[in-house]
A and B are shown apart, each in its own frame.
Chain A
Amino acid sequence: MPDISLAALTAQLFTGLVLGMIFVLLAIGLSLIFGLMTVVNFSHGSFYMLGAYLGFALVGYTKSFWLALVVAPLLVGLLGLGVERFLIRPLYGRSIDDPLLLTFGLSAVIIEAVRLVWGKIGLSLDPPRALGGAVNLGFGMFPTYRLFVIVVTALVLVGLWLFLERTTVGLVIRGGSRDPLMVRALGVDLRRIWLLVFGIGSALAGLAGILAGPMRSVYAEMGVTTVIESFVVVVVGGMGSLPGAIVAGLLIGQVVSVTTFFAPKLAEINVFLVMALVLLLRPSGLFGEAGLME
């Protein structure tokens, strides 16, 4: 049995919070896209990976992590726009499997392209100097960079919330995910909204990638398991629900962290156990609406 001091447990909860924040960033993009257009975007993990790689390249060119942190997600977002416009759009109105298969294939293409450009060997992305060390938070040393990840994610979430709740475009997005037919009847061109939302979702994945880069190692397959974990978060939170993605992301982060503390071998399984449990009790997830998948 490990030492269950308050300090150790607090450190563990903080660690779980960072894991949760990355989950939230990834899940929110997936959930936005699914909620509005019922597209299960399997290339999300590759966008995440691409965020890290573009971040690496931009840090190399500009020598500025801060610039890369802004530009890399924007570039991934641009790619997302292109993907929606030229690949996904022709598939609207067809079964939910078609875009799923398409994005699954796209993800393989992106991985192969990254191998061609940057090689099969992994890269190392360093945190900026100012965020390099660790700070004493009373319960022990905690990496400065991870605190920074918490802050950035929180800011992005607040910004996204304001955008969705306080702007006209946000209103249309919310309306569009509730009742697309009605919104169309009001004379709104939903295609432009879909394009925008796919871009935002992709950019969020890219942001998660460049944020995760300095903590983890960067390699072409880094998104493969991450996309599965993100889907678990989306399913637990409820497909299409933003509050669901946030709550579930933070929940899964703590489940991983706390299980790791007591029984490391169970950490992976417990995530799926939570998913099974949630689905048994609430088949549409914690905050989900029934019927979206039909």
Chain B
Amino acid sequence: MNRRAFLATSAAAAATAGFPAILKAQSKDPLRIGCPLPLTGPFAALAADMQRGAVLAADELNTKGGVMGRKVEVLFRDDQLKPAVGAQRTKELIENERVQFIVGGLAAHVQMAINEQTKKSKVLFVSTSQSDEISAKPDTSPITFHEALNPTITSRVVGQWVAQNLGKKWWIIYADYAWGKQNNAVLTEVLKKNGGTLLGTTPYPLGSAEFSAHLPKIQAAKPEVLMNVAPGADNVALHKQVISYGMKKEMKIAQPLHWISYLKEGGAELYQDVYGGINWYWELQEQIPTAKKFVDASMKKYGLPPGDYGAYSYSGVLEVARGVELAKSTDADAVANALRKNPIYDHFKGKQWWRACDNKSFQDMWIGRGRGPGQTKGDWGLLDLVAKVSANEEYDRTCAEKGHA
């Protein structure tokens, strides 16, 4: 079966639930959304989660009869976690597949490459992964929207909480690329503001499997907190090695972000008592109605709850749809203006809003602590949420600081 046939069948299969609606939706050209993701490589688990999220959003829209009577199709491409491939796949999606919108991207540096393409082709892009630059000049544009949290917000919030609750003598180990460097800078600043001491930092190349050579030095420095800024598969390997060196007994472990996909991959023992920020967690369905709707849909289709990054792509696709409905058009500028004029939305986590100056989404976030073996709920109940931090534009840089006059 070739890729087109596969897409067609899976779209058809997805549509069976809302059969009468889909007939109506099929009568016009579909609304096509391109979604470049690192489907292979060390970020594959997160990318799979994001793929499921985007499919769930398209299903939900199509069951309701599509967007302005048009069926929604999401086309996925593997960017292999490489900026050049991300740019190429995006270009192909726009020029060959004629997608009208791009939602997706994972990894700060690949996102920037995707953004360059969408700007050039005047296609609206909803970025679904962390980056400080994506919503700041000179990289951003009036048709670039940023659905995810960013390193500034995450590390200000998590850094503050960790400094106040876990200790003020830190060591930071970070992946030496955009996202890692941005978090390291913000964490360092927050620690200083809180009167803490940074005993040292360790940059490492993204995609590493071995961290052992970094560890004896950190042990000898005896920090109270080890801050791990390591994404993807690196995160699992780093925690394995940190724990095998007996460091969990000697210091608290924290990270700017938890990803439920990697908590699941590494297991409860690995992440027990590891603290980290998180943009969303499926057990929030007990408190938030839209979260419940999202979790139910995912359980029904995939038999597992959605993760934190799947939620971003789910929301991103739904926001494109909302923008199109509001603007009654698929024109990038018209949709962008409509979203800025009606900035408040809630697809999975309670109220969020777009800030007009930089198209940045503001949203609540949480601090989670890994549950130990025996305390978990099913396969995916791996976190206790210990604090909620409400959305606040002050956690990000101001519009002026980001170069928006």
- Mark A residues whose CB is within 8 Å of B: 2-3, 5, 7-8, 11-12, 15-16, 18-19, 115, 119-124, 126-127, 133-134, 140-143, 145-146, 212, 214-217, 219-222, 225-226, 256-257, 260-261, 264-265, 267-268
Residues of chain B lying within 8 A (CB to CB) of residue A226: 209
User: What is the minimal beta-carbon distance from A263 to any residue of chain B, in angstroms?
Assistant: 10
Q: How far is the CA of A145 from the CA of B202 in the complex (A)?
A: 24
B215-241 residues with Cβ-Cβ distance < 8 A to A are: 215-217, 219-221, 233-234, 236-237, 240-241
Checking B39, B40, B216, B246 against A133 with a beta-carbon cut-off of 8 angstroms, the contacting residue is B246
B193-220 residues with Cβ-Cβ distance < 8 A to A are: 200, 202-205, 207, 209-210, 212-217, 219-220
Residues of chain A lying within 8 A (CB to CB) of residue B203: 264-265
Q: Is the CB of B265 within 8 A of A216?
A: no
Q: Is the CB of B244 within 8 A of A215?
A: yes
Mask, B257-291, CB within 8 Å of A = 1, is 00001000111001000000000000000000000
Q: Is the CB of B265 within 8 A of A123?
A: yes
Q: How far is the CA of A261 from the CA of B219 in the complex (A)?
A: 12
Q: How far is the CA of A12 from the CA of B210 in the complex (A)?
A: 13
Name 17 A/B residue pairs within 8 A (Cβ), A-sorted: A3-B220, A3-B221, A15-B212, A121-B265, A122-B44, A123-B265, A124-B240, A141-B245, A142-B245, A145-B244, A215-B244, A216-B240, A217-B209, A217-B265, A219-B42, A265-B176, A265-B203
Q: Is the CB of A2 within 8 A of B240?
A: no
Q: How far is the CA of A111 from the CA of B203 in the complex (A)?
A: 29
Q: How far is the CA of A22 from the CA of B234 in the complex (A)?
A: 19
Known: A134-B245, A216-B240. A120 touches B39 (CB 8 A): yes
Q: Is the CB of B217 within 8 A of A143?
A: no
Q: How far is the CA of A234 from the CA of B213 in the complex (A)?
A: 22
Q: Nearest 5 CB-CB pairs, A to B? A: A11-B216, A134-B246, A143-B244, A141-B246, A260-B213
Residues of chain B lying within 8 A (CB to CB) of residue A126: 267
Residues of chain A lying within 8 A (CB to CB) of residue B240: 124, 214-217
- 4 extra interchain contacts, Cβ-Cβ under 8 A, other than A142-B245, A264-B204? A121-B261, A215-B212, A221-B42, A261-B217
Q: Is the CB of B44 within 8 A of A120?
A: yes
Q: Is the CB of A257 within 8 A of B237?
A: no
Known: A8-B220, A11-B219. A124 touches B244 (CB 8 A): no
Q: Does B48 contact A (CB under 8 A)?
A: yes
Residues of chain A lying within 8 A (CB to CB) of residue B266: 124, 217
Q: Does B45 contact A (CB under 8 A)?
A: yes
Q: How far is the CA of A265 from the CA of B250 in the complex (A)?
A: 26
Q: Is the CB of B207 within 8 A of A121?
A: no
Q: Does B41 contact A (CB under 8 A)?
A: yes
Residues of chain A lying within 8 A (CB to CB) of residue B219: 8, 11, 140-141
Q: How far is the CA of A292 from the CA of B217 in the complex (A)?
A: 42
Residues of chain B lying within 8 A (CB to CB) of residue A268: 205
Residues of chain B lying within 8 A (CB to CB) of residue A15: 212-213, 215-216
**Smallest CB gap from A7: residue in B:** B220
**Smallest CB gap from A126: residue in B:** B267
User: What is the minimal beta-carbon distance from A222 to any residue of chain B, in angstroms?
Assistant: 6
**Smallest CB gap from A112: residue in B:** B40
B71-127 residues with Cβ-Cβ distance < 8 A to A are: none
**Smallest CB gap from A18: residue in B:** B212
* Chain B interface size range: 35 or more
**Smallest CB gap from B241: residue in A:** A215
Q: How far is the CA of A260 from the CA of B234 in the complex (A)?
A: 17
Q: Is the CB of B265 within 8 A of A5?
A: no
Checking A8, A122, A143, A221 against B265 with a beta-carbon cut-off of 8 angstroms, the contacting residue is A122
Residues of chain A lying within 8 A (CB to CB) of residue B212: 15, 18-19, 146, 215, 257
Q: How far is the CA of A147 from the CA of B207 in the complex (A)?
A: 25
Known: A122-B42, A122-B236, A219-B44. A143 touches B200 (CB 8 A): no
User: What is the minimal beta-carbon distance from B240 to any residue of chain A, in angstroms?
Assistant: 7
Q: Is the CB of A222 within 8 A of B244?
A: no
Q: Is the CB of B216 within 8 A of A261?
A: yes
Checking B214, B265, B267 against A260 with a beta-carbon cut-off of 8 angstroms, the contacting residue is B214
Residues of chain B lying within 8 A (CB to CB) of residue A264: 202-204, 214
Residues of chain A lying within 8 A (CB to CB) of residue B233: 122, 217, 219
Residue among B215, B220, B237, B245 facing the most chain A CB atoms (10 A cut-off): B220
User: What is the minimal beta-carbon distance from A264 to any residue of chain B, in angstroms?
Assistant: 5
**Smallest CB gap from A268: residue in B:** B205
Q: Is the CB of B237 within 8 A of A16?
A: no
Q: Is the CB of B45 within 8 A of A121?
A: yes
User: What is the minimal beta-carbon distance from A147 to any residue of chain B, in angstroms?
Assistant: 11
Q: How far is the CA of A47 from the CA of B227 in the complex (A)?
A: 34
User: What is the minimal beta-carbon distance from A16 to any residue of chain B, in angstroms?
Assistant: 7
Q: How far is the CA of A260 from the CA of B236 in the complex (A)?
A: 20
Residues of chain B lying within 8 A (CB to CB) of residue A221: 40-42
User: What is the minimal beta-carbon distance from A268 to any residue of chain B, in angstroms?
Assistant: 6
Residue among B42, B47, B207, B217 facing the most chain A CB atoms (10 A cut-off): B217
Residues of chain A lying within 8 A (CB to CB) of residue B45: 120-122
Known: A123-B265, A124-B265, A217-B237. A19 touches B44 (CB 8 A): no
Checking A122, A124, A127, A140 against B216 with a beta-carbon cut-off of 8 angstroms, the contacting residue is A140
Checking B39, B213, B261 against A12 with a beta-carbon cut-off of 8 angstroms, the contacting residue is B213
Q: How far is the CA of A18 from the CA of B216 in the complex (A)?
A: 14
Q: Is the CB of A2 within 8 A of B245?
A: no
**Smallest CB gap from A221: residue in B:** B41
Checking A124, A143, A265, A267 against B236 with a beta-carbon cut-off of 8 angstroms, the contacting residue is A124
Q: How far is the CA of A143 from the CA of B240 in the complex (A)?
A: 10
Q: How far is the CA of A120 from the CA of B48 in the complex (A)?
A: 8
Residues of chain B lying within 8 A (CB to CB) of residue A16: 213
Q: How far is the CA of A265 from the CA of B204 in the complex (A)?
A: 7
User: What is the minimal beta-carbon distance from A137 to any residue of chain B, in angstroms?
Assistant: 11
Q: Is the CB of B210 within 8 A of A19?
A: yes
Residues of chain A lying within 8 A (CB to CB) of residue B176: 265
Q: How far is the CA of A69 from the CA of B245 in the complex (A)?
A: 22
Residues of chain B lying within 8 A (CB to CB) of residue A5: 220
Q: Is the CB of A124 within 8 A of B267?
A: yes
Q: Is the CB of B48 within 8 A of A121?
A: yes
**Smallest CB gap from A142: residue in B:** B245
Residues of chain B lying within 8 A (CB to CB) of residue A222: 209
Residue among A2, A120, A133 facing the most chain B CB atoms (10 A cut-off): A120
Q: How far is the CA of A221 from the CA of B44 in the complex (A)?
A: 11
